[in-house]
Amino acid sequence: MPGALKQWPTWPEFTKGNGENEKAFAQYKKDIADQYGEHALRQSWLKVCTKLESLTDEIGEKGTSMIPTLSYDEIRDLSPEKRAQLQGVGCFVVRGVVDRPTADEWFQEAKAYVADNKSSITGWPEETPFVLKVYWSPTQLAARTHPNHLALQRELNSWWHDGSNSTSPDPLSYADAIRIRPPKVPFFGLGPHIDAGSLARWVDPAYRNVYRKIWEGKPEEHDPYDLELRKDANQAIFGGSAHSSVFRAYQGWTALTEAGPREGSLLLYPDVQTVVAYLLLRPFFQPPEDESDVMDATKWTFDVSSTWFPGTWRHDSQMLSPSSHPHLRLQSCMVNIPTMYPGDTVWWHCDMCHAVEVEHDGENDASVVYIAATPTTPTNARYIKAQLDDFLAGRAPEDFKSSGSNESAYKGFLGEKSILSGEEGRRAMGFGLAV
Ligand SMILES: [Fe+2]
């Protein structure tokens, strides 16, 4: 299978026994079943499992080539058909967003910033930290506010629609960490998962409403780009450091170094409509006793008495595993992104399942800056406004508060001077932002 893992890593499998089983959880299922009815949920379940048969065949066959790759110039001049195709897959690589010498220079500057402030910088995972709790290095600020990057973020934000007119595609700059991953160190911390909350998808009324077509028995009508509904979803209703407080139209990373498959890179499940529908419906159905019937969706039993939401922990991202989510055929469908080069970017929809490779068998550091496409919504603007205060003081932003760093004291911290693109860059950072 081109692009699929040759050997599935020993990522955890999720079972009722090792899950979070709170009494209140059954009520969340009952509330949805009462509102939409067993018939509609079962109808969706059968449709989604049928769709997955052909979808998983296609992904297994095509592998990495399912992930479109295009140049920066191409994405700035898309035909409506091409744009619809990219939206449909929900993930893609945009090459050359910044030129290679610039990205190379950024990487050298990032390494120097980290080396100069080594005694103060912490990271994750604790035993082999390489996701560094650094938010305000000149490299990160420059990458986030580079004119090409801002233009691309604006473009991707505009792919969502909002009939209420209370949002805009103007990009906001959500500060996240930087990753410098050394070779030959395995990392098991990020198996298949979906960000933007976990249990919140079933519990928060606004979030649940985003998926109303799925609950109504019409999963094929689910629109993954409805910002009017999504902008009010509270993905952090349960709190937890895994949950971002802002809505990100697309998550993304920007490569500072070259890294290919088996070099600590990213795996994506290239589908944005069916996987999330399956994930949402899965807790309402119990598998047949005879294991040989598991892939036959008609043999699963509707049951809202169970407290278990497979792969769901309130305070963590939504996890998925082959045994808890068998119809996804994760072993065949988590495919490598293509080789990335300095200045390239990869983007995936906020409902997309993704994972980070366990192995890094290359010879060099694999480094990326996490930069998302974050539109202007009332909730996002409030967060970015507060983030600006943190930035000016050199503090970690609210979503990463636990790191407790003070970068204003770091060697190489330049504050506002690191922002590119003039007023547009400053606006993205929250200056003059009306909330
Ligand atoms: Fe993630």
Q: How far is the CA of 177 from the centre of ligand 1 (A)?
A: 12
Q: How far is the CA of 149 from the centre of ligand 1 (A)?
A: 20
How much is the pLDDT for 4?
A: 80
How much is the pLDDT for 401?
A: 87
Place of tokens 């495919």: 335
Residue 414, CA distances (Å) to 66, 113, 303 in order: 41, 11, 57
CA distance 408 to 120: 12
How much is the pLDDT for 6?
A: 80
Q: How far is the CA of 95 from the centre of ligand 1 (A)?
A: 21
**Would you state the torsion angle of the CA atoms of residues 48, 53, 57, 59, taken in this order, to the nearest 10 degrees?**
10
Q: Residue 338 corresponds to which tokens in the numbers above?
A: 């293509």
- How many CB atoms lie under 10 A from the CB of residue 361? 13
Q: How far is the CA of 273 from the centre of ligand 1 (A)?
A: 18
How much is the pLDDT for 1?
A: 52
Q: How far is the CA of 235 from the centre of ligand 1 (A)?
A: 14
Q: How far is the CA of 334 from the centre of ligand 1 (A)?
A: 14
Q: How far is the CA of 166 from the centre of ligand 1 (A)?
A: 28
Q: How far is the CA of 193 from the centre of ligand 1 (A)?
A: 6
Q: How far is the CA of 251 from the centre of ligand 1 (A)?
A: 8
Q: Residue 3 corresponds to which tokens in the numbers above?
A: 């692009």
CA distance 74 to 67: 15
Q: How far is the CA of 356 from the centre of ligand 1 (A)?
A: 8
Q: How far is the CA of 266 from the centre of ligand 1 (A)?
A: 10
- Asked whether 346 and 340 are in contact (CB, 8 A), the reply is yes
Q: How far is the CA of 48 from the centre of ligand 1 (A)?
A: 24
Q: How far is the CA of 115 from the centre of ligand 1 (A)?
A: 26
Q: How far is the CA of 401 from the centre of ligand 1 (A)?
A: 18
Q: Residue 116 corresponds to which tokens in the numbers above?
A: 């100069």
Q: How far is the CA of 243 from the centre of ligand 1 (A)?
A: 10
pTM of structure: 0.97
CA distance 418 to 415: 6
Q: How far is the CA of 191 from the centre of ligand 1 (A)?
A: 9
Q: How far is the CA of 350 from the centre of ligand 1 (A)?
A: 9
Q: How far is the CA of 33 from the centre of ligand 1 (A)?
A: 29
Place of tokens 């028995």: 217
Any residues with CB less than 8 A from the CB of 93 and at least 6 apart, and which? 67, 68, 69, 70, 337, 338, 340, 344, 345, 346, 347
- Asked whether 378 and 231 are in contact (CB, 8 A), the reply is yes
Fold classification of 23-428 is: Jelly Rolls (2.60.120)
Q: How far is the CA of 194 from the centre of ligand 1 (A)?
A: 6
Any residues with CB less than 8 A from the CB of 249 and at least 6 apart, and which? 156, 157, 159, 160, 227, 349, 350, 372, 373, 374, 375
Per the DSSP assignment, residues forming a β-bridge with 251 are: 348
Instruction: List the pLDDT tens digit at each of the 435 positions of the chain.
Output: 577 888 899 999 999 999 998 888 999 999 999 999 999 999 999 999 999 999 999 999 999 999 999 999 999 999 999 999 999 999 999 999 999 999 999 999 999 999 999 999 999 888 888 999 999 999 999 999 999 999 999 999 999 999 998 999 999 999 999 999 999 988 888 999 999 999 999 999 999 999 999 999 999 999 999 999 999 999 988 987 788 999 999 999 999 999 999 999 999 999 999 999 999 999 999 999 999 999 999 999 999 999 999 999 999 999 999 999 999 999 999 999 999 999 999 999 999 999 999 999 999 999 999 999 999 999 999 999 999 999 999 999 999 987 778 999 999 999 999 999 999 999 999 998 987
* Cα Rg, the chain, nearest whole Å: 21
Tell me which H or E stretch contains 129: none
| Residue 173: Cβ-neighbour burial (10 angstroms; 0-12, 13-18, 19+) | buried
Q: How far is the CA of 38 from the centre of ligand 1 (A)?
A: 32
Q: How far is the CA of 422 from the centre of ligand 1 (A)?
A: 31
Residue ranges of domains in the chain: 23-428
Q: How far is the CA of 270 from the centre of ligand 1 (A)?
A: 14
Q: How far is the CA of 390 from the centre of ligand 1 (A)?
A: 23
Residue 44, CA distances (Å) to 32, 55, 305 in order: 13, 16, 19
Q: How far is the CA of 34 from the centre of ligand 1 (A)?
A: 32
Q: How far is the CA of 11 from the centre of ligand 1 (A)?
A: 15
Q: How far is the CA of 178 from the centre of ligand 1 (A)?
A: 14
Q: How far is the CA of 299 from the centre of ligand 1 (A)?
A: 33
CA distance 425 to 146: 8
Q: How far is the CA of 354 from the centre of ligand 1 (A)?
A: 6
Residue 135, CA distances (Å) to 140, 237, 292 in order: 7, 24, 49
Q: How far is the CA of 242 from the centre of ligand 1 (A)?
A: 9
